[in-house]
């Protein structure tokens, strides 16, 4: 007789993430028409809440796209063929900035960073000094492919001191790590809906700091659908330039209300606890954290010697109904990644590390150093 099969699917993916029941209910409403008083009020209220989340007194726009759409909008609305850019690498998403700059014909240089490491701010400073002049730096806050967090505050200090613009991919850091845009001096922040914002994919957000307002008028690349000048004009009347994903906007209103009710500081602290608990549980089983400075959005783990990362991902899925991600590109088969962005708590992590323990044992891993569930619980409590 074979073991019973799991009947639930639990997402521990680094996006899309679990959508909370409250948000699912909001999604089930009949789609409103977007050119109505009611929807205009909702859009403006959501925009206000996003402004607070992005930490800016500037402008925030919703774009109908996955996160990459906002990344592309940042490039096409800020850059010109004669403005040089510096893209910070270090993973698949850092490389995406370079790919976008390449596609848009923007002259650029990439600052290579070892995968799993966080960029040394001194290296950013040196690149700006030696390879310049640069107009704009494109950086990633939480590098989802390696689980590394980059020190945006330190990078912003450097760019601000030199009058260089800074654009940050905060797709797996907003509502997870503090990123006060105006206070730190970040010109543009982009985010997506299916990570810390806890709704399905389809909305990207882009915020422009107050001092950078004229940047989108000065850019010289062609734009049409993602023309932020059009978005600006429409939002003044409570509308979007094109038909917005209305149901997702209703879902976002709900998830932003959840974040507000819990409190943004509490949300950040909970993600810190999720990250600590996951690492503690996994470490107790002989796994090691891949990133030197781990993001609280996703925990990248190297399995103990003799266990292949893909085999762990497969067993977690088949036996436990838990969906995690493997490594991408050069990290394929090297790491596995557990996402814990959004509505996750200690019980989720206890279940995850318990299942991870079962997998490690079944795949011939070493004896646990200690009980992973207990290790996770203790780390969760440690503020």
Binding site for ligand PLP (CB under 6 A): 15, 66-68, 93, 140, 142, 144, 169, 171-172, 192, 201
Q: Nearest distance from residue 171's CB to ligand PLP, in Å?
A: 4
CA–CA gap between residue 294 and residue 302 (Å, rounded): 13
At CA 112, angle to CA 108 and CA 118, rounded to 5? 120
Tokens read off for 140:
């990633």
Residue with Cβ nearer ligand PLP (107 or 201): 201
247: Cβ contacts below 8 Å, ≥ 6 apart: 27, 29, 31
The alpha-helical segments, DSSP class H, found in 181-235 are 181-184, 215-218, 228-235
Cα–Cα distance between 231 and 45 in angstroms, integer?
16
Smallest gap from residue 350 Cβ to ligand PLP (A): 25
Sign of CA pseudo-dihedral 324, 326, 329, 335? positive
Phi-psi category of 90—alpha, beta or left, where left has phi over 0 and alpha has psi -120 to 50? left
Least CB distance to ligand PLP at residue 325 (A) = 11
Nearest C-alpha neighbor of 208 from the set 234, 189, 226, 232 = 189
In terms of CB distance, is 99 or 180 closer to ligand PLP? 99
Tell me if 259 sits within 8 A of 267, measured CB to CB: yes
* Shortest spacing between CB 192 and ligand PLP, in angstroms: 4
Closest by Cα among 83, 180, 98 to 134: 83
User: Can you tell me which residue has the tokens 């450097």?
Assistant: 158
Nearer to ligand PLP by Cβ, of 169 and 187: the residue is 169
Of 197 and 353, CB closest to ligand PLP:
197
Cβ 64 to ligand PLP shortest distance, Å: 12
Smallest distance from ligand PLP to CB 170, Å: 8
Smallest distance from ligand PLP to CB 18, Å: 15
Measured from the CB atom, the residue of 134 and 138 that comes closer to ligand PLP is: 138
Structure tokens at 65: 């796209």
The CB-nearest residue to ligand PLP is 67
Sign of the C-alpha dihedral, residues 151, 60, 17, 333?
negative
Closer residue to ligand PLP, CB minimum distance, 169 or 348: 169
For ligand PLP, the closer CB: 171 or 376:
171
Q: Are 92 and 172 in contact (CB under 8 A)?
A: no
């Amino acid at each position: 007789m074979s073991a019973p099969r799991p009947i639930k699917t639990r997402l521990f993916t680094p996006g899309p993430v679990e959508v909370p029941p409250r948000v699912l209910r909001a999604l089930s409403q009949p789609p409103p028409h977007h050119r109505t008083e009611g929807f205009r009020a909702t859009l403006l209220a959501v925009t206000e809440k996003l402004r607070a989340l992005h930490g800016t007194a500037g402008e925030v726009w919703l774009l109908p796209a996955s996160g990459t759409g906002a990344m592309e909008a940042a490039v096409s609305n800020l850059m010109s063929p004669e403005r040089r850019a510096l893209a910070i690498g270090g993973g698949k998403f850092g490389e995406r900035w370079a790919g976008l700059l390449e596609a848009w014909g923007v002259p650029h240089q990439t600052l290579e960073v070892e995968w799993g490491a966080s960029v040394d701010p001194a290296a950013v400073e040196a690149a700006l000094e030696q390879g310049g002049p640069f107009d704009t730096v494109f950086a990633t806050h939480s590098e989802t492919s390696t689980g590394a967090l980059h020190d945006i505050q330190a990078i912003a200090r450097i760019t601000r001191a030199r009058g260089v613009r800074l654009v940050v991919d905060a797709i797996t850091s907003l509502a997870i790590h503090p990123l006060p845009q105006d206070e730190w001096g970040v010109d543009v922040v982009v985010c997506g809906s299916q990570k810390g914002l806890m709704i399905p994919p389809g909305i990207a957000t882009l915020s422009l700091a107050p001092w950078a307002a004229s940047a989108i008028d000065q850019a010289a690349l062609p734009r049409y659908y993602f023309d932020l000048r059009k978005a600006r004009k429409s939002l003044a009347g409570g509308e979007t330039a094109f038909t917005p994903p209305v149901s997702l906007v209703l879902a976002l209103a709900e998830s932003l209300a959840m974040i507000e009710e819990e409190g943004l500081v509490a949300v950040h602290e909970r993600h810190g606890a999720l990250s600590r608990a996951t690492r503690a549980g996994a470490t107790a089983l002989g796994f090691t954290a891949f990133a030197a400075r781990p993001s609280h959005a996703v925990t990248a783990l190297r399995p103990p010697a003799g266990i292949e990362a893909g085999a762990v991902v497969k067993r977690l899925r088949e036996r436990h109904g838990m969906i995690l991600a493997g490594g991408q590109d050069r990290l394929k088969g090297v790491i596995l990644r557990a996402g814990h962005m959004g509505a996750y708590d200690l019980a989720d992590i206890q279940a995850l590390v318990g299942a991870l323990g079962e997998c490690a044992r079944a795949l011939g891993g070493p004896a646990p150093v200690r009980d992973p569930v207990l290790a996770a619980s203790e780390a969760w409590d440690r503020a």
